[in-house]
Amino acid sequence: MDQICDDLAAEHSALDSLVANLTEEQWTTDTPAAGWDVKDTIVHIIQADMAASLAVTNANGFQAAKQKMQTSGGGGLDFFITSKGKTGEQILATWRSERAKMLEAFRSRGPKDRIPWFGPDMSTLSFATARLMETWSHGQDVADTLDQPWPPTDRLKHVCHIGVTTRGWSYVNRDMEFPGGDVRVELTAPSGALWTWGPEEAPDRLTGSAEEFALVATQRRHPSDTALVAEGNLAAEWLGIAQAFAGPPTLPEGRKG
């Protein structure tokens, strides 16, 4: 838990550095996620962080809040916070406070403890990893919006791992039959290391940059805009529908998640 929480904190800091000195006009710049500006993006992260803190520290309280959020007029994640009437500076201060609370909550639990969520329960370790994935992917949105670099780090291994392990979900989410079979994944990390998943002898293979795979799996880039190589029908089909996050299927030009 210390390692994933340290990596999540580093991801927070990276995104914080992108938005720390924005003007109010920049806070209201539209991002590639349809209907969201920069402020909406950070508010969405805050909402999920607040829900995560509640789920980790008070399962019954989270279940009650979840039931209310899912009823008509419950407001969804707006139950926790909205951007209405708040400046970018106020939003940033709130995010800094809430993410610190979430990290403290994660560090108080064991990695295999089960935590309730909007979908299936997750282990604390998986939960913290998912929060890192979302922070990183929305950080890419903000970086794209501001035309700023978003340098890849080896923290991407967490994102890539989710991308690989959600192969079956990518089919289920599109009402497609999961074909089964093995796909060997070999990705080059930002550090130059080779990350691998799946049997070495699998005939179907997916190879290339870890950053590009993470961008595709979080639907921030279309596979055709990358140098990823898919060998075999299983790998090619999966690459075309890969989605590492919950929610309806999306396209890069309409991304949320």
Q: Which CATH number applies to 2-150?
A: 1.20.120.450
**Mean pLDDT over the full length of the chain:** 94
Question: Looking at residue 189, what is its pLDDT?
Answer: 98
Q: Compute the distance between CA of residue 41 and CA of residue 35 in angstroms, rounded to an integer.
A: 10
Question: Looking at residue 246, what is its pLDDT?
Answer: 85
Q: What are the start and end residues of each CATH 3.30.1050 domain in the chain?
A: 157-254
Nearest alpha carbon to residue 239 among 173, 177, 163, 186: 163
Residues 138 and 44 sit within 8 Å (Cβ to Cβ): yes
State what percent of residues in the chain have pLDDT above 90: 89
Nearest alpha carbon to residue 211 among 160, 161, 148: 160
- The single-letter code of the amino acid at 104 is E
Q: Which CATH number applies to 157-254?
A: 3.30.1050
Q: In this predicted model, which residue has the larger pLDDT, 76 or 200?
A: 200
Q: What are the start and end residues of each CATH 1.20.120.450 domain in the chain?
A: 2-150
Section 104-120 average pLDDT: 95
CB atoms closer than 10 angstroms to residue 129 = 20
Count the residues in the chain.
257
Question: Looking at residue 46, what is its pLDDT?
Answer: 98
Nearest alpha carbon to residue 131 among 18, 255, 246: 246
Residue 4 predicted with pLDDT over 60: yes
Task: Report the DSSP beta bridge partners of residue 115.
Answer: 122
